Every structure is written in structure tokens, then in C-alpha cells.
Amino acid sequence: MFGEHRLKTQFIKIADRKIHLVEDRGDLVRYRRDGIERLIKGTDVVLRLLPAPAVGYGVPLLTVKLKEEVVVPPRGSLSGFLDVPVEVEVKVGNLSIDHFIVGREKYALYGPIENGVVTRYHVSPFYVDEPETMGIAKVILSNPTKEWRDLDRVVLPIEGSTMYYNGDRAYYPLILITLKYHSPEVNNTGKAPREGLFRVGNGTPLPNFPMRW
């Protein structure tokens, strides 16, 4: 699914979406998807399907509500995985010819009504082992305090995030969450969550994000 596809007549299925490539006269290929159509010249080039952060209508954050609270002991740590939404960007060379959302979109307010921020919203279990889902975020929870700490949601900075992929799975960079006394701090490291993945973007970390609410 993710990666390179030859410009020839074929269907490419991505979750609930389908791309149709149709060879036309000469070296022309028609790209069709949900009423969108592009005419591409050149059959000796490739179409690239790449994962993109789930920013939806331009939101900078992704809120992941955990199905069960995670509790970490003093000076303890825990690593796991979240099922998260991703989007898809379609490129020919360095040109983006399409960008779309897969699955259902949900949004939620993060913070108080007066000055909160609209975020993409998703509900996920906290997996100990990597789930067989399309979008994955590996997280490491670290509790440096002398107290037991719990966590019922994770708010991830995703605007401008690097992405990784392999076959039919897309990954956000490794996410570090430090459970401080006042508020957890989230670090999108920009680093690959595991070996053997292809990178989209430059791997630059995003600024640490304090989860104040």
C-alpha cells in the first residue's frame, strides 16, 4: 500500500478509499479517486503513496483518549503502542497531486472553552505489543517522581511531524511522555520507533509539549 506504485492500469486500496489508475493513449495515465482526477504524463515514473500526520482541517494536535487509564509506579517506566489516525499524501516526483483522510474524522476541544484548541480526536487501547492497525504510535511513559502517576489520554504534537512507513502500516515518530508532578510532557522525537522503516520528512524533533489540561 504505502510506497511506490507503477503508473499502469490498476486499483490501489487504502483502508476505505480506492485509487484507480488507467492507462490512456501514448504515455498518459489517468489518476482517479473519489471524484478527483489527474492526467499524468509519463509511464516510466512511479506514484508514491506516503503517510502524513492526521491534521485534518489544519489542527496542530492529536488527542488520543485511552480506553483504560495507565498507572506507572514511582521511578518507573512503561512502553507500549497506540492505534492512531493517519492521512495519505500522493506524489509524483516531488509534486503532491492528492491528499486525503482515511477512516472517520473526529475532533475535540483541548483545554478550557475560553482559550482551548481544537484537536483531532481518537480512542485507543494501550497495547503492550504492536497492534495490526494502519496507524501506530509507539510511546514510552517515564515517571521520574516519587509518586504513583496515572494517564488517561495523550495529546501529541503532530503539525509538521516526520512519518515512517513499511508496507501497509504508518508510524509516527517515537513518542516520549514524562509524567511530571504538574503536567505530563510529550516529546515527538522525530526518531523511528523501530528499525526497517522508510522515513517521510527530515526526522527533526518537535518542541516538547506540556499537557496542562
Q: What gap in Å lies between CA 50 and CA 4, rounded to an integer?
A: 9
For cell 496507524, the residue is: 135
pLDDT, tens digit, for every residue of 57-85? 899 999 999 999 999 999 999 999 999 99
Residue 44 has pLDDT above 90, yes or no: no
Query: Mean pLDDT across the chain, nearest whole number?
Result: 95
Q: What gap in Å lies between CA 56 and CA 26, rounded to an integer?
A: 37
The pLDDT of residue 182 is 86
The pLDDT of residue 181 is 87
Residue 175 has pLDDT above 80, yes or no: yes
DSSP state of 127: B
Nearest alpha-carbon partner for 137 in 167, 103, 174: 174
Residue 213 has pLDDT above 90, yes or no: no
Q: What gap in Å lies between CA 37 and CA 67, rounded to an integer?
A: 40
Nearest alpha-carbon partner for 98 in 56, 54, 49: 49
Torsion over CA of 66, 76, 135 and 106, rounded to 10 degrees?
A: 30
The pLDDT of residue 45 is 87
Residue 43 has pLDDT above 80, yes or no: no
**What's the whole-model pTM score?**
0.94
Residue 157 has pLDDT above 90, yes or no: yes
